[in-house]
Amino acid sequence: MIQELVGKTLTKIENFNGRELRFHTSDGEVYLMYHYQDCCENVYIEDIIGDLDDLVGSPIVLAEERTNSDDRIETTEYGVGLWTFYEFATNKGSVTIRWYGSSNGYYGVGVSFEKIDRNY
């Protein structure tokens, strides 16, 4: 859960083509935010509001997830669309990462967040 980052200090955030983010902490941990793509769906980072560098070098004071799951939208790509918003803040500023997923309704469009092996 992204709340694990609260109190941790990030040293680096890597963005891999809007499909995956890696959060590196000062205590050597690495967290991965991603979606494993499957058939008949598309999930990606649609927008980052704020500067990711504002999250580096100061402890995270806020980490939360919001979604429009109660108000899904119809799309032309696969049928059903969902936004998931992740908001992070430090004393230097805040950042909102907006993921967008569309699916035919059978496949999930959720975003995963997990601690991974540093050598990943």
Give the count of domains, the chain.
1
Q: In Å, how far are 60, 71, 117 from 85, measured between CA atoms? A: 17, 14, 25
Parent domain of 49: 2-116
Q: What is the pTM of this model?
A: 0.86
Q: Encode pLDDT of 31-53 as tens digits.
A: 999 988 777 778 899 999 999 99
Q: Output phi, psi for 53, to 5 deg.
A: -65, -20
Q: What is the pLDDT of residue 42?
A: 83
Judge whether 80 and 29 are in contact, CB under 8 Å: no
Compute, in degrees rounded to 10, the torsion defined by CA atoms 72, 107, 2, 46.
-60
Q: State the Cα–Cα distance between residues 8 and 29, nearest whole angstrom.
A: 10
Q: Encode pLDDT of 70-103 as tens digits.
A: 555 555 566 677 888 999 999 999 999 999 888 7
